[in-house]
């Protein structure tokens, strides 16, 4: 792989970007947390998703909807720093309490199968990047965590996210 | 710089046979080379893009790679396309209506159904080979279910042109998936032959 090839690719990216106008819109405004939750609950249930990890998905979903960290954290009843942490690239979803994350996942209308898929992707990344010291223990934790998220959905009567 | 092994037949064969150790090496090479490349190209979140890229390659066993070409060059192009795709989706969702959420995608999520999952991965891989504009037409038509006149209106094109392009694209996609399936079958047969006494 020559330097010339790399430079050619970099030039291609620059050119492609120049051809597009950079449009950015203002964050979506909500009167209060109730409004934000009501807005999210109108979204269709998300079942089919891209191959990515859970934190990356959550971050891009929120930014795609133009919702600020502050508004989201206040609506979900979590600290803004905690939400940023949940959305950060290296975060391991099964290390956060299902009680904390289930309301966020249900507010975004993410189906349990999609959550399973995304969490397993996070697990693969954690495994290959050697961030899991005990693989068996982590596998067990992951299964328990997913089962607990399901229980939280059942408690919240989130039938649409479970069928 | 990429390790010399990365273009070796053995390494590529191991990737295409789904050998875990090969994917671990690929991860390390990506961290050393792809992430800095994405960073120098100005992408906001190079680590995240590489993660998604690696996951796709892992799930599809790099079947989209043509062994007659340079592997590092292909890898950087795949990463670049992934980054550009994400940028475009993010831009669209900032300006578009609610249903334009960034993750309306094709992959099937049923982990228990490996057949469905493999097909989804193949489709994903085939989509990765298309031109970004073509992917956008398919996204609007197949994912959001928009009719040709609506796609034409959104993309500033004529309805006839979109209709023709969509039908050509679906044929192309089908051919590409069949090619990937063939590659997979061949790799499986080679592995079986190699492993048999």
pLDDT bracket for residue B62 (50, 70, 90): very high
Domain with CATH 1.10.10.10 in chain B: 131-197
Q: DSSP readout, chain B?
A: ---GGGG-HHHHHHHHTT-HHHHHHHHHHIIIIIHHHHHHTT-S-HHHHHHHHHHHHHHHTTTT--TTS-HHHHHHHHHHHHHHHHHHHHHHHHHS-GGG-TT-------TT-HHHHHHHHHHHHHHHTS-HHHHHHHIIIIIS---HHHHHHHHT--HHHHHHHHHHHHHHHHHHHHHHHHHHHHHHHHHHHHH--
Closest CA of chain B from A124, distance in Å: 8
pLDDT in tens, B99-109: 233 333 333 33
Phi and psi angles of residue A46, each rounded to the nearest 5 degrees, phi first: -95, 115
Indicate yes or no: pTM above 0.80: no
Is A135 strand, coil or helix? helix
Question: Which residue, B137, B178, B53, B117, is CA-closest to A48?
Answer: B117
Could you tell me if A101 lies within 8 Å of chain B, comparing CB atoms?
no
Residue of A nearest to B60 (CA): A51
Looking at beta carbons, which residues of chain B come within 8 Å of A62? none
Give the gap in angstroms from C-alpha B20 to the nearest C-alpha of chain A. 9
Is the Cβ pair B42, A17 closer than 8 Å? yes
Tell me whether A1 touches chain B (CB under 8 Å). Answer: yes
* Pair A107, A46: CB distance under 8 Å: no
Percent of all residues in chain A with a pLDDT value above 70, rounded to a whole number: 93
Q: What is the dihedral of CA B160, B164, B170, B176, to 10 degrees?
A: -150
A136-147 pLDDT per residue, tens: 999 999 999 999
Query: Each residue of A1-18: pLDDT tens digit?
Result: 677 777 777 877 777 766
Contact flag A50-B59 (C-beta cutoff 8 Å): no
Chain B residues in contact with A46 by the CB 8 A cut-off are 101, 103
Inter-chain Cβ pairs, chain A and chain B, closer than 8 A = 130
Q: What CATH code is assigned to B131-197?
A: 1.10.10.10
pLDDT at B95: 36
Q: How far is B197 from chain A (nearest CA, A)?
A: 31
CATH code 1.10.1740 region(s) in chain B? 1-103
* Facing residue for A46 by CB, picked from B42, B58, B103: B103
Structure confidence at residue B179 as a pLDDT band (50, 70, 90): confident
Query: B107: phi > 0 → left, psi -120 to 50 → alpha, else beta; which?
Result: beta
Indicate if ipTM > 0.90. no
User: pLDDT, tens digit, for every residue of B112-151?
Assistant: 444 545 656 667 677 777 777 777 787 777 766 677 777 8
* Neighboring chain B residues of A114 at a CB cutoff of 8 Å: 109
| CATH code assigned to B1-103 | 1.10.1740
Q: Which residue has the higher pLDDT, B167 or A19?
A: B167
**B105 and A111 in contact by Cβ < 8 A?**
no
Q: Provide the residue ranges of all domains of chain A, joining segments of one domain with +.
A: 28-161
> Is it the case that residue B171 has pLDDT exceeding 80?
no
Range B71-93 average pLDDT: 85
């Amino acid at each position: 792989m020559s330097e010339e090839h790399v430079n050619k690719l970099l030039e291609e990216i620059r050119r492609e970007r120049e051809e597009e106008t950079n449009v950015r819109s203002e964050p979506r405004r909500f009167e209060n947390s109730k409004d934000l939750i009501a807005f999210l609950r109108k979204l269709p249930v998300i079942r089919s998703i891209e191959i990515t990890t859970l934190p990356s998905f959550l971050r891009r979903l929120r930014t795609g909807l133009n919702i600020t960290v502050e508004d989201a954290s206040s609506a979900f009843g979590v600290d803004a720093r905690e939400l940023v942490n949940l959305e950060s690239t290296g975060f391991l979803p099964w290390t956060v309490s299902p009680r904390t994350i289930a309301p966020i996942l249900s507010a975004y209308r993410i189906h349990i199968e999609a959550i399973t898929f995304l969490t397993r992707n996070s697990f693969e990344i954690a495994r290959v990047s050697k961030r899991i010291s005990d693989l068996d223990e982590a596998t067990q934790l992951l299964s328990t965590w997913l089962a607990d998220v399901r229980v939280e959905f059942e408690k919240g009567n989130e039938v649409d996210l479970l069928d | 710089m990429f390790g010399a092994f990365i273009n070796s037949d053995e390494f590529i064969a191991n990737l295409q046979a789904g050998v875990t150790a090969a994917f671990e090496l690929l991860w390390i090479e990506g961290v050393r080379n792809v992430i800095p490349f994405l960073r120098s190209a100005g992408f906001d979140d190079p680590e995240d893009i590489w993660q998604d890229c690696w996951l796709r390659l892992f799930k599809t066993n790099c079947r989209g790679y043509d062994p007659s070409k340079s592997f590092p060059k292909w890898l950087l192009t795949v990463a670049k396309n992934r980054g550009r795709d994400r940028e475009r989706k993010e831009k669209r969702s900032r300006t578009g209506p609610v249903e334009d959420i960034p993750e309306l995608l094709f992959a099937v999520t049923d982990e228990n159904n490996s057949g469905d999952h493999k097909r989804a991965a193949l489709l994903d891989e085939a989509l990765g080979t298309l031109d970004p504009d073509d992917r956008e037409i398919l996204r609007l038509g197949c994912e959001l279910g928009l009719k040709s006149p609506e796609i034409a209106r959104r993309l500033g094109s004529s309805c006839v042109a979109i209709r023709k392009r969509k039908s050509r694209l679906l044929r192309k996609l089908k051919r590409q998936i069949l090619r990937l399936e063939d590659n997979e079958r061949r790799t499986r047969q080679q592995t079986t032959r190699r492993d048999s006494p």
